């Protein structure tokens, strides 16, 4: 059953992002695509192991042939070296320009399969079926597709919009608990950037409510999609405004990198990075202490980590490698207030050092 639908209307593209209860309905969406020669589902065996039977039920009742391509799970496999095998499988399975790729999985699958679609025979159509909370609220919307190099994440990519996004809510029931943090951190990011009702709603929501209450989950997914779409519609290619979506990510990436992507999930690192961004906002743009208190309370209730435990110098060193570096200052997305972001704000190392030291020694329980 379709629960919600949002249309993303950008410069030269328009597609729906639909939230469904389950996969029952995917067949109709796929059948609505014109002139398709074959569907190629890109997924991994972890996800297929649980959902393949539902997917097959939809695909088998279509009169169009399909083929499943399995890739290995995990960020390390969203790698340029993994592309060739998939391109070869497409050729062997007669994928022509009318073939359609279906990305069935989380953000790793979505980014990778989307990149394959953007390059195979100079671009074929693709569809996103996100199965993680992060993919539902963030990565499936907006058309950023990419693979990693050994020398950096998402270093080779494209802006390539899907034909539609079909998010089956039931898939979240099997999502490991830690993976929820990734999606929740991005929802919180959207709430900080927009302020208003989404923020108010999150302030009265605990982690438990997300796991037990479908209504708040649906609301937050829909609002996140609405907010992200509104940004992408104005600035698909990150000429300016879209940069606000990097709130919290400069520090988040540095923490992930310092801890070799092993200690924290991406969401946990972004969560700490969001708090760094708010503390820097206070120091640089006069973001209020009351807002910091509100954010701390909210993120604690959502069980998102705030305190930094790593070596501060190492974090700053990794920030220096960040692509947003310019001259001797680092640039951040900061907030004047909730709902009032500023991107490209230069911050000196002394300020960053001061804030990170504070965040490391923070007595959160005492607040």
Backbone angles phi, psi at 203, to 5 degrees: -65, -20
Specify whether 266 is catalytic.
yes
Instruction: Work out whether 29 is an interface residue with ligand GLY (CB under 6 A).
Output: no
| 144 marked among binding-site residues | yes
Does residue 222 have a known ligand-binding role?
no
Q: Which does 242 bind (CB under 5 to 8 A by kind): ligand NAD, ligand GLY, none?
A: ligand GLY
Q: Which two tokens stand for residue 203?
A: 């302030």
144 is catalytic: yes
Catalytic residue check, 190: no
Our CA angle for 345, 351, 353, nearest 5°, is 125
Residues 71 and 42: their CA atoms lie apart, in Å, by: 7
Active site residue 98: no
CA dihedral 101, 104, 109, 112 (to 10 degrees): 10
3-state secondary structure of 66: strand
For ligand GLY, give the closer residue by CB, 20 or 242: 242
Interacting partner of 125 out of ligand NAD, ligand GLY, none (Cβ under 5 to 8 A depending on kind): none
Residue 307: closest CA among 239, 356, 244, 254? 356
**Cβ contact 304:282 at 8 Å:** no
Q: Is 138 in the site for ligand NAD (CB under 6 A)?
A: yes
Catalytic residue among 125, 266, 318, 331: 266
Is there a binding annotation on residue 186?
A: yes
Q: Residue 73 interacts with ligand NAD (CB under 6 A)?
A: yes
Under the criterion CB under 6 A, does residue 165 sit at the interface with ligand GLY?
no
One residue of 86, 103, 134, 279 binding ligand NAD per CB under 6 A = 134
| Residue 236 engages ligand GLY in binding (rule: CB under 6 A) | no
Residue 1: count other Cβ atoms within 10 Å of its Cβ.
Answer: 8
| 46 forms part of the interface with ligand NAD (CB under 6 A) | yes
Minimum distance between the CB of residue 114 and ligand GLY, rounded to whole angstroms? 12
Q: Is the separation of the CB atoms in 47 and 175 below 8 Å?
A: no
Q: Which residues pair with 101 in a beta bridge?
A: 40, 126
Q: Name the residue with tokens 């095998």.
A: 85
State yes or no: is 79 an active-site residue.
Answer: no
What are the beta bridge partners of residue 168?
Answer: 20
Query: Is 308 in contact with 322 (CB distance < 8 Å)?
Result: no
- Per-position x/- string for 101-140, each x denoting binding to ligand GLY as judged by CB under 6 A, each - no binding: -------------------------------------x--
Chain positions 48 to 87 lying near ligand GLY, rule: CB under 6 A, are: none
Active-site annotation holds for 122: yes
Nearer to ligand NAD, 50 or 57 (CB): 50
Closer to ligand NAD by Cβ: residue 193 or 356: 193
Identify what 10 binds: ligand GLY, ligand NAD, none; CB under 5 to 8 Å per kind: none
Q: Is 262 helix (H, G, I), strand (E, B) or coil?
A: coil
Cβ-based nearer residue to ligand GLY, 16 or 65: 16
CB 114 within 8 A of CB 142: no
User: Which H/E stretch holds residue 182?
Assistant: helix 177-194
- Residue number, 138 or 310, with CB nearest to ligand GLY: 138
Of 114, 130, 142, 341, the residue at the interface with ligand GLY (CB under 6 A) is 142
20, 29, 125, 144: residue in contact with ligand NAD (rule CB under 6 A): 144
Token readout for 365 is: 């329980």
Spatial CA neighbour of 117 closest among 64, 17, 46, 42: 42
Residue 41 sits at φ, ψ, to 5 deg, of -90, 125
Marked catalytic residue, from 6, 20, 190, 253: 253
The burial class, CB within 10 Å (0-12 / 13-18 / 19+), for 48 is middle
- Flag whether 64 is marked binding: no
**Residue numbers 198-257 binding ligand NAD by CB under 6 A:** none
Active site residues: 122, 144, 186, 228, 238, 242, 246, 249, 253, 266
Q: Which residues bind ligand NAD (CB under 6 A)?
A: 44, 46-47, 50, 73, 75, 78, 105-109, 111, 131-132, 134-135, 138-139, 142, 144, 154, 171, 174-175, 179, 182, 266
């Amino acid at each position: 059953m379709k629960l919600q639908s949002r249309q993303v209307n950008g410069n030269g593209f328009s597609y729906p992002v639909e939230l469904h209860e389950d996969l029952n309905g995917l067949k109709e969406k796929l059948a609505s695509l014109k002139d398709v020669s074959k569907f190629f589902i890109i997924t991994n065996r972890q996800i297929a192991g649980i959902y393949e039977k539902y997917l097959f039920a939809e695909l088998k009742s279509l009169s169009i042939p399909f083929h499943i391509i399995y890739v290995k799970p995990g960020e390390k496999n969203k790698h340029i070296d993994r592309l060739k095998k998939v391109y070869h499988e497409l050729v062997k399975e007669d994928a022509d320009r009318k073939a359609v790729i279906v990305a069935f999985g989380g953000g790793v699958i979505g980014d990778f399969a989307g990149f394959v679609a953007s390059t195979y025979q100079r671009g074929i159509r693709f569809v996103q079926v996100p199965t993680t909370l992060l993919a539902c609220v963030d990565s499936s919307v907006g058309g950023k597709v990419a693979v990693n190099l050994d020398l950096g994440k998402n270093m080779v990519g494209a802006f390539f919009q899907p034909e539609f996004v079909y998010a089956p809510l039931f898939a979240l029931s099997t999502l490991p608990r830690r993976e929820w943090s990734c999606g929740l951190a991005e929802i919180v990011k959207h709430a900080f950037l927009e302020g208003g009702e989404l923020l108010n709603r999150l302030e009265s929501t605990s982690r438990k409510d997300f796991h037990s209450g479908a209504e708040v989950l649906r609301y937050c997914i829909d609002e996140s999609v609405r907010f992200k779409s509104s940004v992408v519609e104005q600035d698909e290619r990150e000429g300016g405004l879209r940069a606000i979506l990097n709130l919290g990510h400069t520090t988040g990436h540095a923490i992930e990198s310092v801890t070799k992507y092993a200690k924290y999930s991406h969401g946990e690192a972004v969560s700490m990075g969001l708090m760094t961004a708010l503390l820097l906002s206070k120091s640089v743009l006069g973001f209020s202490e009351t807002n910091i208190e509100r954010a701390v309370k909210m993120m604690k209730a959502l069980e998102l980590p705030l305190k930094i435990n790593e070596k501060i110098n190492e974090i700053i060193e990794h920030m220096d490698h960040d692509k947003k570096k310019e001259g001797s200052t680092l640039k951040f997305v900061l907030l004047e207030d909730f709902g009032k972001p500023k991107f490209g704000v230069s911050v000196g190392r002394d300020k960053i050092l001061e804030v990170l030291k504070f965040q490391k020694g923070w007595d959160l329980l005492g607040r």
